[in-house]
Chain A
Amino acid sequence: MRLLLVEDDRLLADGLARQLEKAGFSVDTTAIAREAVVLGEQEDYRAVVLDLGLPDGSGLDVLRKWRANQINLPVLILTARGDWQDKVNGLKAGADDYLAKPFQTEELIARLNAIVRRSEGRVHSVVKAGRFELDESRQSLKLADGTEHTLTGTEFRLLRCLMSRPRHVFSKEQLMEQLYNLNDSPSENVIEAYIRRLRKLVGPDTIATRRGQGYLFNDTV
């Protein structure tokens, strides 16, 4: 499995490369952001370990460039900053996982294997309906003006269900199945609460109510 390690601390990079090779990866190492961008675009890696603080730029910018060019290889971010906002920003930029320094090599390898496994068979799939784009791998909603909204699990499943067949009326029972992991006996009020929240994101007219029948996604609005 080819792996790109982008890390500017030589001692850490050497040690890590040795350990990763022991774990069965074939590792390319670079300490420069520009080189990382090119390598990621030209070579066929299975995973990337990306340090955020690089001498010639931020790892986040490298990641954004890859994602903008449709390079969807799984990326694990390494950083010394363990702030929640940093983690959110890292994942929003397109990372698959996040590990704060210092870390144990076993954990890094376990996480790498996890994101590689997750990425297998993953295709960059997008559900489009009207002005909206639902990114399935990132579980986020993109609006026509380019703004991206993060969705919680159930919001995503409900919206995907509605957007998969625009103008089709889904009954509350059908939608309820999307909430499988909530309370043991989810009430219909829960559906209404979720629909209300989704409407705040997509606009009140986009999800229409058919009294006594259910809801539909109106992609013409």
Chain B
Amino acid sequence: MTLFKKPVSVKGTLLVLLLPAGIGLMALAWLVHGLLLDRMAREFVESRLKDEVAFLEHQIRESGGRIDTLQTGDYFQEVFHHAFAIQSPYRSLVSPESWTPLLMPLLQSGPDGATQVESRGNADSPSSILAYRASFRVGDTPIVVIVSEDLGALKRSQAELHAWTAIVSILLIVLLVGVIWLGITLSMRPVVTLKAALKRLQDGEISRIAVQAPEEFQPLVQQLNQLLDSLDQRLERSRDALANLSHSVKTPIAATRQILEDTSRPLDTALRQEMAARLGDIDKQLEAEMRRSRFAGPQAGKSAYPVKQARDLLWMLGRLYPEKSFELSSELMEERRWPLEEHDLNEVLGNLLDNAGKWSERTVELSLLEEDGRMIMRVEDDGSGVHSESLSSLGVRGLRLDQQTPGHGLGLAIVREITERYGGTLTFDTGARGGLRALVDIPWT
């Protein structure tokens, strides 16, 4: 069924679902009501007819079987509004007369008890009657008594009642629709306020959604607010980065331009070198800030294949340093994913391996492992290593580039920053072969 495939609106879906169901159930109730009414009315009529037969029988027995002495005429019809027929061997009595063709065959023969008789009949007699027949003996005289009622009249009043029930049902359905609509509207009210809040958010009237949302929507609102928080943080970070950058870039540009504009000043070697150094500074700052601004940090829905990425990086470095060997040691499967952003993982592995490649003699080894819910990346080289006093200052943020251990500059600082953003640690020590060993340890989030 394609009806519910695309719920255009919750309200629409609920109405589409609840309305036909309500109407269907109401119709079913009405049908059942009709059946029950029919059965009840018939039982009631039957028991009344039976009572009347018993009363007649009693009268006949009182009069000793002489039905002539019965007060006939319209008595029964007037008292009971019913037709009756009595038959003894001497006489037959049918009241009213016009029912004779209907009742006579039943008087002659037929089962005792209630019978429904249908006849095409004429204008005076009804087309459908319910008759109750009883045969008994008074002394030696066999007597048959029939009391009957016009079913047509009964059916007519029944139909009227049923019609009224239908009208009431329809009224109830209208009420039900009203209640459903009201219920839907009321329960959807938080969504409407949420919508309004989002609109105001977009217009800049509010900065966070502070809607008292029902339980079901609480996570949504929270997620939205978190997203807004991280957007704000990102904006702030990129503003800071740009401010830093502009500060450290504009001055060297101004100095260089000054020199170039001054046509009277000869461009000697010292000056050229000075200018080149300034441009070099600009490049370093630009590079540092740009790489920082590319970090993603922990993000929902991002993951990377550590083994695949490590293999590519190791292969690439193996091509760039053909005389050195870059090895991978890992028991992880190729398809294993880590909840790190791909670019961030590349930056961590790439910088560690590149650094190790620069300083190694022949071999760099990368180990990837998982230990008690932690992701561990270990890079070890067989170079001359770093003096133990300097180990702790490697890649420390806040140290200016020229204050860092020469040669281990920006790359390690970037690794440390990314690692910390994932709540992990970067530590250095001296490996088994005397080279530097870097260990990145990130908790699984």
Chain A residues in the interface with B (C-beta under 8 A): 82-85, 87-88, 91-92, 96-98, 102, 118, 138-140, 149-155, 181-184, 193, 197, 200
**Contact (Cβ within 8 A) B362 A150:** no
Residue with the greatest number of chain B CB neighbours at <10 A, chosen from A96, A149, A150, A184: A150
How far, in whole Å, are A196 and B346 apart by their CA atoms in the complex? 25
What are the 4 closest A-B residue pairs judged by CB atoms, nearest first? A150-B315, A84-B350, A153-B325, A84-B346
With a cutoff of 8 Å between Cβ atoms, the chain A residues found around residue B329 in the complex are 193
Stretch of B47-55, B168-176, B195-203, B306-314 lying at the A interface: B306-314
Looking at the assembled complex, report how far the CB atom of A40 sits from the nearest CB atom of chain B, in whole angstroms.
20
Q: With contacts A83-B343, A153-B325 known, is A88 near B318, CB below 8 A?
A: no
**Contact (Cβ within 8 A) B325 A150:** no
With a cutoff of 8 Å between Cβ atoms, the chain A residues found around residue B320 in the complex are 91, 97-98
**Contact (Cβ within 8 A) B346 A181:** no
Name the CB-closest residue of A to B354: A84
**Contact (Cβ within 8 A) A152 B316:** no
How far, in whole Å, are A96 and B319 apart by their CA atoms in the complex? 7
Partner of A182, one of B318, B331, B342, B363: B363
Q: With contacts A82-B287, A200-B334 known, is A91 near B316, CB below 8 A?
A: yes
**Contact (Cβ within 8 A) B311 A152:** yes
**Contact (Cβ within 8 A) A139 B318:** yes
With a cutoff of 8 Å between Cβ atoms, the chain A residues found around residue B429 in the complex are none
Chain B residues in the interface with A (C-beta under 8 A): 279, 283, 287, 291, 294, 311-316, 318-320, 322, 324-329, 331, 333-334, 342-343, 346-347, 349-350, 362-363, 365, 432-433
Partner of B327, one of A88, A140, A150, A153: A153
Looking at the assembled complex, report how far the CB atom of B105 sits from the nearest CB atom of chain A, in whole angstroms.
95
With a cutoff of 8 Å between Cβ atoms, the chain A residues found around residue B343 in the complex are 83, 85
**Contact (Cβ within 8 A) B313 A84:** yes
With a cutoff of 8 Å between Cβ atoms, the chain A residues found around residue B433 in the complex are 184
With a cutoff of 8 Å between Cβ atoms, the chain A residues found around residue B365 in the complex are 182
Name the CB-closest residue of B to A193: B329
Partner of A151, one of B291, B313, B315, B350: B315
With a cutoff of 8 Å between Cβ atoms, the chain A residues found around residue B326 in the complex are 152-153
Interface contacts beyond A84-B350, A152-B318, A152-B325: sample of 18 additional A-B pairs, CB < 8 Å, sorted by A: A83-B343, A84-B313, A84-B347, A84-B349, A91-B315, A96-B319, A97-B320, A118-B322, A150-B315, A151-B315, A152-B311, A152-B315, A153-B326, A153-B327, A154-B325, A154-B327, A182-B363, A200-B333
With a cutoff of 8 Å between Cβ atoms, the chain A residues found around residue B324 in the complex are 153
How far, in whole Å, are A150 and B314 apart by their CA atoms in the complex? 9
With a cutoff of 8 Å between Cβ atoms, the chain A residues found around residue B333 in the complex are 200
**Contact (Cβ within 8 A) A139 B334:** no
How far, in whole Å, are A154 and B327 apart by their CA atoms in the complex? 7
**Contact (Cβ within 8 A) A181 B313:** no
Looking at the assembled complex, report how far the CB atom of B239 sits from the nearest CB atom of chain A, in whole angstroms.
23
How far, in whole Å, are A118 and B321 apart by their CA atoms in the complex? 11
